[in-house]
Chain A
Amino acid sequence: MTVSSFDADERGWFGGAEGFGGRFMPEALVAALDELTVAWQEAMADPTFVAEFEQILREYAGVPSPLYLADRLSEKVGARILLKREDLNHTGAHKIRNVLGQALLTKRMGKTRVIAETGAGQHGVASATAAAYFGLDCTVYMGSVDTKRQALNVARMNLLGAKVVAVDSGSATLKDAINEALRDWVASVDHTAYLFGTAAGPHPFPSMVREFCRGIGDEARAQVLEQYGALPDAIAACVGGGSNAIGLFTAFLDDESVDIYGFEAGGDGYDTGRHAATIYAGDRGVLHGARTFVLQDEDGQTIESHSISAGLDYPGVGPQHAHLADVKRATYEPVTDTEAMDAMALLARTEGIIPAIESAHALAGALRVAADRPGQTILVNLSGRGDKDMGTALEYFKLGETE
C-alpha cells in the first residue's frame, strides 16, 4: 500500500532501521499490533470497507470539507491563502476521520470496546462520538490536570455515553493518559481496540492514522487543481502528534514544486525552554512505542511540554514527521503562543472564522511564510474550530466586556 516515496517499511521504519518509527512495545501487545496491522491492510484492500468508510465520512461527518479562498486575509498579507475547512467537520475537527476509520475497523475485527487517550478532550469527544455511532463501549483516559481545565469536554464525553477516567500519575497530562491507556490495553487486548489519537505510537498506528486522515490532502489537492488550476506553492499545517499535518502532506509529498511546512507549538518562545517544538529541538529518543524526536533531559526522562494549545502540547511527535524533517522534505518551525493568538484574532476579524488555537499555529506560520512569497498560493489546513478554546480566548484577550 505504497502511497508516497516516504512511507514506512513493513516493520514500521521510516528511513530504515537507523531512522524513525518501529515498534518499541511490551511483548504482551505485539500480537495485538500484528493482528491490527493485518486487519487494517486487509480492510484497506477491501472495496466494501473503503466504500463504507467514505459513505460514513460523507453522510455523517460532512466530508469532503470545502477549500476556501480567504479573500480579505489574502489581500491583507499579499499572498493567496486557501483554507482547508476541516473546522466544518462533525465534532469540529479533522479527528473525526481517524476515529471513524479506527472504529469501523474495530467493528470489522469483532471487538466490542474501545479506549482512547485525550489531552484537551477533542480526540476523546471524537472517540466517544464514533463509539456511540457504532455501538461500542468507550473508556477515555485524560490527565486529571486536563479534566479540570476541560470540564465541558468531559461533559460531552459523558453525554455521548463514554466513561472518562482521570489520570493522576506522572504529570497528569496527555502523555500520562497515553501511558494509562496502554496499561488498560495490556490487560484488555483480547476484546478492546485502542483508538490512538494521532499519527504517532508503535507501528502500525503512524501509518494507519495517516491513511484514515489522508483524505484531507487528497481532497485539497483535487480541489485546488479544480478550483484554481494549479498546485499551491506551499502547504502548511500545525504539528503536535501530527495527524492533521500528515493527513494534508501525504498527497503532496511527491509534488516536488510544493514546499511543505509544519508548525509546532513554540509556547513562551523556543529559547525559554517552555515549548512543544519537538522536531525543532531535534533530540532523538523513544517514546510511546516509536523512535522519534522527544523532549527529554540528558538521562532520557521525558520533559513536560508547554503550549497554550492543548492539542499541540505533547513531548513527542509522529515518526514520519521526524523522517520528513530528517530528509528535508518538510520544514518544521515553532510558532509562539502570542503569534498563534494573534492569528486567531486576525482570522476571526477578517474572515468571520474562529479557528482552534492549534490551527491558528498553522495560520500564523503560513502568514510568516507568505511575507516572503508575495503573490504565491499557500494552502493551510484549518484543522479545527475554536469553540472549545473560548475559555482560553476569553482569558487571553480579556473578552466578555460589553459597552
Chain B
Amino acid sequence: MSVSTAFAKAKADGRAALVGYLPAGYPDVQGGIDALLALVDAGCDVIEIGLPYSDPVMDGPIIQAAAQKALEGGVRTKDVLRTVEAVAATGTPTLIMTYWNPVEKYGVERFAADLANAGGAGLITPDVTPDFAQDWIAAADAHDLDKVFLVSPSSTDERIAMTTAASRGFVYATGIMGVTGTTQATAAGVAPLIERTKATTDLPVGVGVGVSTGAQAADLAAYADGVIVGSALVRALGEGLPALTALTEELAAGVRRA
C-alpha cells in the first residue's frame, strides 16, 4: 500500500490517518523493529522511521536522547534501511524521516535506490526545503518515492504553494512553532495553516510536532487528514512495549473519535 492509499483508506472510513514515529536503533536495532511492528499492530496507518543523527535541530529532548542512545549503540544507515525492510514487509507504508547530511553522505541516488529496494515509501526531510532539494527530488522521482516536505505556521502562502507542488504522499504541517515533544498543538492553533495548505493542493495534510494524546488526536483529526505522533511514542517505548501499545491504541481510537 502507498502512503496516499493509506490516507485515502482512512478518509473513506471517515477518519484521519494515524502516523507513528520511532527512531531506528532504539533501544537497539531489533528492539526498534519490534517496537515499530507493535505500532503497526496497534493501529498506525503509516510508519515514520527516524534516522538517528548527531545534530537533530528540529527535535526536542526526548527524540534527541533516543537518537543519541541509538548512535551510541552503533546504529548505521544500513541498519535503518534494514529496519525499513522489516516494517514495510507488513504492508504498512513506511517512510524515513531524516536530516539531510546522512543522505548526502550515503549518496542521494544510492539512498533512493536502496530505500526503494527495501520497500520504503519515501522520505520526510525536516531540514531540506524543496528549493534546496533538487538532487532528492530527481532521485525520488526516478525511484517512484514519496517526498514529504514540511510547512510551518510561519510559511508564506507562496512558500506553501511551492512546497506542496513539490510534495508527494502527504504534506507535513508543523502544529506549533517549535521542536518536537515540547509544546502542545491545538486545533485552533493549527487550523489556519491546514486551511492555507489545503488551498494549494489536493494532497492529504498531516499534522505533527506537538501531538501526544488521544484527546489531542481526536481534536486535530477534525481538521487534518493525518495525525503524526513521535516524542510521546518514544517516551512510552522507554517504559516498555505494553505502554507503547497502549498509547498507540489510545491514539488510534482518538483519530476514530473525531
What is A's interface to B at a CB cutoff of 8 Å? Answer: 11, 17, 22-32, 169-170, 175-176, 179, 182-183, 186-187, 189-190, 284-289, 291, 294, 296, 298-302
Contacts and interface: CB of A to CB of B under 8 A. Distances in A.
Interface in B164-204: 174, 176-179, 182-183
Given A26-B57, A301-B71, A31 B177 contact: no
B118 interface: no
Interface string B136-166: 0000000000000111111110010001000
Given A170-B68, A286-B100, A296-B105, A24 B155 contact: no
B179 A183 contact: yes
Nearest to B149: A27
Contact of B105 (A29, A170, A300): A300
A178 to B, nearest CB: 8
A31 B154 contact: yes
A183 B134 CA distance: 26
Nearest to B133: A24
B152 A26 contact: yes
Given A26-B57, A169-B68, A170-B54, A187 B179 contact: yes
B76 interface: yes
Contacts of A183: 57-58, 60, 178-179
B159 A27 contact: yes
Given A17-B134, A182-B57, A299-B106, 14 more contacts: A27-B129, A28-B58, A28-B153, A30-B129, A31-B155, A170-B55, A179-B55, A179-B56, A187-B179, A189-B154, A190-B177, A285-B101, A286-B100, A300-B106
Interface of B: 53-58, 60-61, 64-65, 68, 71, 76-77, 100-106, 126-129, 131-132, 134, 149-156, 159, 163, 174, 176-179, 182-183
A134 to B, nearest CB: 25
Nearest to B180: A183
B69 to A, nearest CB: 12
Given A27-B152, A27-B163, A299 B55 contact: no
Interface centre among A31, A179, A301 (most CB of B within 10 A): A301
B60 to A, nearest CB: 7
Contacts of B68: 169-170
B182 A187 contact: yes
A169 B179 CA distance: 14
14 contacts: A27-B163, A28-B58, A30-B159, A175-B55, A176-B55, A183-B57, A183-B178, A186-B179, A187-B178, A187-B179, A284-B104, A288-B57, A296-B101, A301-B71
A288 B105 contact: no
Given A169-B68, A187-B178, A301-B102, A287 B127 contact: no
Contact of B101 (A22, A28, A182, A300): A300
Contact of A31 (B57, B61, B156): B156
Contacts of B182: 187
Nearest to B76: A299
A26 B150 contact: yes
Nearest to A284: B104
A31 to B, nearest CB: 4
Report, nearest first, the 6 A-B pairs whose CB atoms are least far apart: A300-B105, A187-B178, A28-B152, A300-B102, A300-B101, A302-B54
Interface centre among B102, B134, B182 (most CB of A within 10 A): B102
A32 B101 contact: no
A296 B100 CA distance: 13
A105 to B, nearest CB: 19
A260 to B, nearest CB: 28
A24 B128 contact: yes
Interface centre among A25, A175, A289, A294 (most CB of B within 10 A): A25
Contacts of B134: 17
A176 B224 CA distance: 34
Contacts of A28: 58, 150, 152-155, 174, 177
A25 B133 CA distance: 11
Contacts of B149: 27
B58 A186 contact: yes
A294 B104 CA distance: 12
B105 A24 contact: no
A288 B54 CA distance: 11
Contacts of A287: 55, 101
A289 B159 CA distance: 18
Contacts of A17: 134
Contacts of A27: 129, 149-152, 154-155, 159, 163, 174
B58 A26 contact: yes
Contacts of B153: 28
Contact of A179 (B57, B100, B101, B128): B57
Contacts of B132: 22-24
